[in-house]
Structure 1
Amino acid sequence: MGTEIERKFLVDGDCRLPSEGRPVVQGYIAPGDPEVRVRSVGGTHTICVKTGSGLVRGETEVAISAEQFAALWPTTAGARVEKTRFTVDVGGGEAVVDVYAGALAGLRTVEVEFASVEAADGFAPPAWFGREVTGVEGYGNRHLARYGIPTE
């Protein structure tokens, strides 16, 4: 299993998004630990297993066919997320801004992946990044998919 090192923030200010984003639908087959999800992004379909929580997580993602995605999709009823994903430049690296739709409309998050924990610790978020929600269960996609936007 690979490792994902990622920090997640709410979008708090005005960020300039590219004119085109990629529509994403993802659903959770098993929203626990490990979490198992299927995702469709612009004709590309994957199944992903993630373990742990917080800054460093285990992650394995495998491409699947459209037919396999369609067969698995019904198992995700009640645990789905719709969003548009935009890639933006931040301080010489890339971040992804997710603008949620459906029941999660109005929520915007930004995630930055890193090659090391040291790089993650040294990252200075731009002014438009809001509160950091790395490891906050309520802002994990698997939780959002089942329970909606946290009311805290």
Structure 2
Amino acid sequence: MEIERKFTVRKLPDELEKYDYHYIEQGYLNVHPAIRVRKEDDHFYMTYKGAAGVVAKKEYNMELDESSYDHLLKKADGNIITKKRYLIPINEDAFSKEYLDTHADDAKAFYEGGIKIELDIFEGFFEGLVIAEVEFPSIEASENYNPPHWFKEDVTGRKEYSNAQLTKLDKFVVEKA
């Protein structure tokens, strides 16, 4: 189960270059349910994302080899998405002390670095789009999350921010801050 919230970004965090990142290319074979093929650095896989709640969705991944990925990517509908995904430690004030004191599993994930901000900086057709995603160990953690100041708007569940929906666009315009 993927438990995730998605946000637009007010400004990029300071010293972005110090964080690790992955280069991602992906295409969608189907939107409902979402079936995508993805290249992440030198790894290839196909993902099925089933429809569920707004925050939580079933997700299955299957590894592919490069030739299978290339073959399937040619069959993808719409725009191919390319982006750099920066892996940023969760903000220190992400959860209240009271919440962490009463939710041991979430606190463990928080203190051990198991919760990260994935900052996607899109390229190509979607250049200018920047989205931050946070995957949580529980629905309760997602509901109790305090985003950092550099996040702008919570767009979790908004169809127009879904990667699968983005691939269907004929044109793309970045909203100015």
TM-score normalised over the length of structure 1:
0.90
Query: Aligned equivalents of 1:151 and 1:82: distance in 2?
Result: 16
User: What does residue 107 of structure 2 align with?
Assistant: none
Deviation for aligned residue 1:79: 3.4
Deviation of 1:77 (Å)? 4.4
Judged with a 3 Å threshold, the aligned counterparts in structure 2 of structure 1 residues 130 and 47 are, in CA distance, closer, same or farther, namely same
Equivalent pairs: percent with the same residue? 29
Aligned partner letter, 1:5: I
Q: Which has the larger radius of gyration?
A: 2
Contact 1:79/1:142 (CA < 8 Å) preserved in 2? no
* 1:110-121 map, 5 Å: 110-121=132-143
SS in 1 for 2:167: helix
What residue number does 2:4 align with? 6
AA matched with 1:101: E
What residue is the counterpart of 2:49 in the other structure?
A: 50
Matched residue pairs, number? Answer: 149
> Counterparts of 2:61 and 2:166 in 1: how far apart (Å)?
20
Name the structure where strand makes up a greater proportion of residues: 1
Instruction: Give the Cα–Cα distance (whole angstroms) in 1 for the partners of residues 87 and 154 of structure 2.
Output: 18
Aligned to 2:89: 89
Asked if 2 retains the 8 angstrom alpha-carbon contact of 1:18 and 1:88, the reply is no
Partners of 2:73 and 2:39 in 1: how far apart? 10
Aligned to 1:18: 17
Comparing 72-81 with 44-53, greater Cα deviation is found at 72-81
Separation (CA, whole Å) in 1 of partners of 2:55 and 2:23: 25
Q: Which runs of 4+ in 1 moved over 4 A?
A: 148-152
Establish whether residue 145 from structure 1 lines up as the match of residue 145 from structure 2: no
TM-score normalised over the length of structure 2 = 0.78
Give the conservation status (yes or no) of the 8 Å contact 1:45–1:65: yes
Secondary structure in structure 2 of the residue aligned to 1:146: coil
Q: Which runs of 5+ in 1 are unaligned?
A: none
Q: Is the 8 A contact 1:96 1:110 kept in 2?
A: yes
Deviation, structure 1 residue 71: 1.2
Match of 1:37 in 2: 36
Counterpart AA for 1:52: A
Instruction: Quote the offset at 1:117 in angstroms.
Output: 0.5
The equivalent position to 1:123 in structure 2, one of 132, 139, 145, is 145
